[in-house]
Structures are given as C-alpha cells and as structure tokens.
Structure 1
Amino acid sequence: MKKARQILIDLGLFAGAILVVFIIWQLLTPRPNQAPKTVTSTSSADKVIKSKPKPKKTLQLVAIGDSLTHGVGDETNKEGYVSLVANQIQQATKHPVKTANFGVTGDTSVQITKRVQKQKPLQQQLAKADIVTLTVGGNDLMAVLQNNFFELNQRRITTGQQKYQANLTTLMTQIRKYNPDAPIFIMGVYNPFYVYFPEINGMSKAVAEWNQTAKTVANDFKDTYYVNSDRMLTRGDGHFVKQTKSLAKMDSAQLQKTLAANEHLNPYISPDDHFHPNHKGYQRVTKAFWQVMKAHKQTWD
C-alpha cells in the first residue's frame, strides 16, 4: 500500500514538473502576430522607405533678354536655346526643370531693364528662379554700327561701349533686386557677318569690346558668369569669302547676293536673315551655356 502511494506521489510530482515546463515554454515562445514579429515587420518597412530615393527638386530657369532668348531663327520653333538648356540640365542632373521665357526681339539693354522694372510676372518669376540666363548687347551694338557698317567709327564704338557698360550694370542691379542669390549666366555677342566680310576688322574689334564689357560687369556681381558665344558662332566651318570688290561700293542687292551665295559657310546662322542662329546654332549656344553652368554647378544644384 505504501509503495502504491509513493508511486502516485512521484507521478504527481513528475506531472507537476512537466506542467511548469510547459507553462514556461508557452510564456517564452512568441505567438503569431505578436510583438516580436510586428517589430520585425515594421523595421523592414522602415528599411524600404529609407531606401526609396527622394524626388529631385524642380529647378526654375528664368530666361531674360532679346531675340536670342526669344528663339528667333530656330526653325523648330522651340524657343531656341532655352528649351535646349532646360533639357541639358534635366538629362545631366535628373532635376525636373521649369522655364519662364522673357525674351523680346529687338530689345536693347535699356528696354530689357525697363521690363524688369515694370513687369510684375517677370519680377515674380525672377524671385523664384534657381538659374537666370541673359542675352543682351547685340541690339545695342547694331544701333551703334547702323549706317556705318563698312566704315566703322572707332570713337562712336567706344562711346557706345561705355553707355552699354553703364546700361548693363543698371540691368544687373535690377535683376539682383528681385533675386540676390541665383546664378546669372550672361551670353556675349558674336559676329554673324564674319564669314562673308572677314576683312571688316572693325566689326570684330567692336564685338570683342562688347564682350569684354560683359565680362567686366559680370565680375562686379555675385555668382554672375560670362558665356562666350563668339567662339561658337562667328567662324562657321572655318571658310571665308574672298572679296574681289570693295565693300563700300556694294549696293544692297549685291550684299544680299553675297550673303545668299555663301550662307553655307556658316551652318549655324539662319539663312532667313543671316543674323540669328538656326537650330544648329542654338545647339552650340546651349553647349556654351552648359560648359559654364557645369563649372559652377554648386551655385544652382
């Protein structure tokens, strides 16, 4: 009897021990959908979110200027260099680019300044700009050269250049009034007639003086850079017309004939007016802008 009772006691102790082990095992083993699994799941989700690339900021490109900003001569009618520069920036940086084009054909530096001073939409867009491009000076130069193209007066050119420097300084001051920080890229002027009349040295000299003025003014303002279009557009494919007749003796019809017969010598100038860039020319203008923009990428990216 005692032996049977002892067996029952031992069995009871053994069962109790098993029960205790079972309870402890139940407490320590994670249940489905309980905290440990949930924490792991949340951590994985966090990793997925963190690894997702942030969307790139949309850059605001504001283009101000004359017919070159307007895109005159571009047979594709796609705003000349403005859309091409925007595409170049987007391809190179993956930033979406929004453009605002304030180019007006025929505007001089004085007229562009008046628009910056008076036009609210221009001022509002300028204030939001991350990048500003400016084409100016060509119409100022042509105003000085008109009626004296073949017999250039150096004194008149020098006086015009001094006025242009003062006007460009005023224009830049106005632009900086509405946007003190965005980099400004000023494109210089070029000589569209060089391949037809290379012996007119005064024209080349005047272009060089105008471009030196743009460089000087650019250096006077923060984050403002000169863009050389003369090198890209003036010399065409490197061939020139050899004149056999005095230019001073040519009438208008003869001049037009010379231009039309030799327009192939500069494949970057529009055959419609022999003055503005064509689409290939604007591609070269874009290359000139991008070279400088890329060199100063830290100011806008």
Structure 2
Amino acid sequence: MSKGKSGNSRLWPILGLTMLLCTALMLVGFAAALRDAWFPSRGIAVPEASEPPKAAEGGLADKPQWLVAALGDSLTRGTGDETGEGYVKRTVALLKEASGKPVKLVNNLAVNGLTAIRLSDQLEQRGVQQAVAQADIVLLTIGGNDLFQIAQSGGSIAEGRDVSPELLERLIPQTEPLLDEIFEKLRRINPNARIVYVGLYNPFYDMEQARSMSAHILDWNDYAHRLAAADGNATVVPTYDLFESNVKAYLSSDHFHPNAKGYERIAARIVQSLE
C-alpha cells in the first residue's frame, strides 16, 4: 500500500504540470488569434478590383497604334446608311490609311434615340468607362434628339409640319449644361484621349420655314467649340455647311440622318481634323 501511495504522489504533480502547460499554450494561441483579428498584418490586404487599361499619355503622333471608342446617338450608330458602315467604321478605315498605323475600334456604344441626359447616365456604367478609359480617340455625337424633338414625330418631318425654330431656341440653353457635363465626365474617365465631337446640322434647310433654325444650330456648335477649347484636347468637326448645300445629296430618305455619301463626308472631315 505504501508503494501505491508513493507512485500516486509522484503522478499528480506530473499531471498538474502537463495541464498547466496545455492551458498556457491555449492562452498563447487565443492571444495570437485576437491580435490577428484586432491588429491585422499590413502585409495582408484584400485585393481590389482591377482597373481598366488607361490611354497612354502623349500626342496621337507619338502612339504606335490608335484605339477608338464611339459614343452617342443614331448618327454614331450609322442610321440611314444602307451599307451599315456609318461614319465610325469609315473613320477607322481612313485613319489607318492616312496614319499608316494600326487603328482599332474598341466599341461603338451609340444608341438610337439617345439624349444628352441618358448619355451622361451611360458614362456612369463600368463597361462604358472601361471602353472610354483605354481609347486614344473618342468619337461623339449628341444633342440632336434633345434639340430636334420633332424627330420623334415620324412622317410629319418630311411633310414639313412641327418644324419649330422657336422650340429649338428654347431647348438649347437647357441642353448646353448637359453637354458640359458629358465633356467633364469623359475627361475624368480618360485624361489623355482626343475627344472628337461631330457638330450638328440643319436637316430641314430645304424647308423655307426651317431655314432660320441654322442660326440656332450655329449657336449650339459655337458652345461646343468653347467647351473643346477649354478642354485643350478636343475637336469639334463642322458638318452644317455640308448639309445646307447638299441636303438631297447627303440625307437619307428619313430627311434627318445622313446617307452613305453623307457619312463619307463626315468621316473625311474627322480625319482631316486629326491630321
């Protein structure tokens, strides 16, 4: 009996020491876990979403290739052109020929019927921003659906009804701030791209009651010129003179959009503006 008591007396201290060590290890592990939770290592970070590639700095002449993004309304979509080319694809082809460089269309994001406020909203979309951010050249038409609301009236255009110079004059001051907003958003998305805005024209110049609209359209284009000058890397391409002297030759049958020949002339002027 004395031997058993002696063995038990030696075993209890060993067990006690073992339990004490285990408790200490648990406390150390718990403290380490709290430290990692409360004070995470600076070397560990949650990965952020990748940013779209940015257009390289410098002038167009310094770049080995040109990436083009197109935005806006039905004119940039190419409506009225029976070939489906519009001015955008023609511009890309002519730029390749004139520059001798690779020229690629990143995306044509134009939407038929797009207004200035809807384009401003579109520029908040991630996919649109990615296309604009990587472009060296941004082609743009907007304002026609805001100022020529008569374009929504169907056949009355060709018949000459609902053509209102007075309405156009009232709409211009309401739409100019939206054009300013679009320029600002484009520049925030891409500080380096050349913005090319295609100016408006009077598609109803052959109608006597609509000829006075040309003066208001020139006011609109002049405002766009001032925005481009303030930007410093933007161009406004004039088109009003083309259509005033050649309405029947350059307009499609809807009496509003250019036909293939009209888009050819617009593309040629864009290329000239970039030379």
TM-score by length of 1: 0.64
1:191 aligns with 2:202: yes
Which structure is higher in RCO with an 8 Å CA cutoff and minimum separation 6? 2
CA-CA distance at 1:150 after TM superposition: 4.3
d(CA) in 2 for partners of 1:168, 1:133: 14
d(CA) in 1 for partners of 2:127, 2:196: 21
CA-CA distance at 1:199 after TM superposition: 4.3
d(CA) in 2 for partners of 1:212, 1:230: 12
Q: Which position in structure 2 is the counterpart of 1:137?
A: 143
d(CA) in 1 for partners of 2:257, 2:73: 11
Could you report, residue by residue, the CA deviation over 1:233-289 in whole angstroms, capped at 9, with x for unpaired residues?
Answer: 2321xxxxxxxxxxxxxxxxxxxxxxxxxxxx6111111x11101111100111221
Deviant stretches of 4+, over 4 Å: 144-148
CA-CA distance at 1:171 after TM superposition: 0.5
CA-CA distance at 1:146 after TM superposition: 7.6
1:292 aligns with 2:273: yes
Residue 193 and residue 291 in structure 1: after superposition, are their counterparts in 2 closer, same or farther (change >3 A)? same
Q: Which position in structure 2 is the counterpart of 1:166?
A: 177
Gaps of 5+ in 1: 1-55, 237-264, 295-301
Q: Is this contact kept in 2: 1:63–1:101, CA < 8 A?
A: yes
Gaps of 5+ in 2: 1-62, 154-160
Q: Which position in structure 1 is the counterpart of 2:192?
A: 181
3-state SS, counterpart of residue 103 of structure 1: coil
Q: Which position in structure 1 is the counterpart of 2:245?
A: 235
Q: Which position in structure 1 is the counterpart of 2:45?
A: none
Residue from 93, 110, 122 that aligns with 1:87: 93
Could you report, residue by residue, the CA deviation over 1:60-110 in whole angstroms, capped at 9, with x for unpaired residues?
Answer: 0111111011010110112x0111000111011111111121111111111
* Aligned residues between the structures: 205
Q: Is this contact kept in 2: 1:233–1:284, CA < 8 A?
A: no
d(CA) in 1 for partners of 2:151, 2:84: 29
Q: Which position in structure 2 is the counterpart of 1:283?
A: 264
Q: Is this contact kept in 1: 2:205–2:211, CA < 8 A?
A: no
TM-score by length of 2: 0.69
Q: Kindly, what percent of the aligned residue pairs are identical?
A: 34
3-state SS, counterpart of residue 95 of structure 2: helix
1:269 aligns with 2:257: no
Larger radius of gyration: 1
Residue from 223, 227, 233 that aligns with 1:217: 227
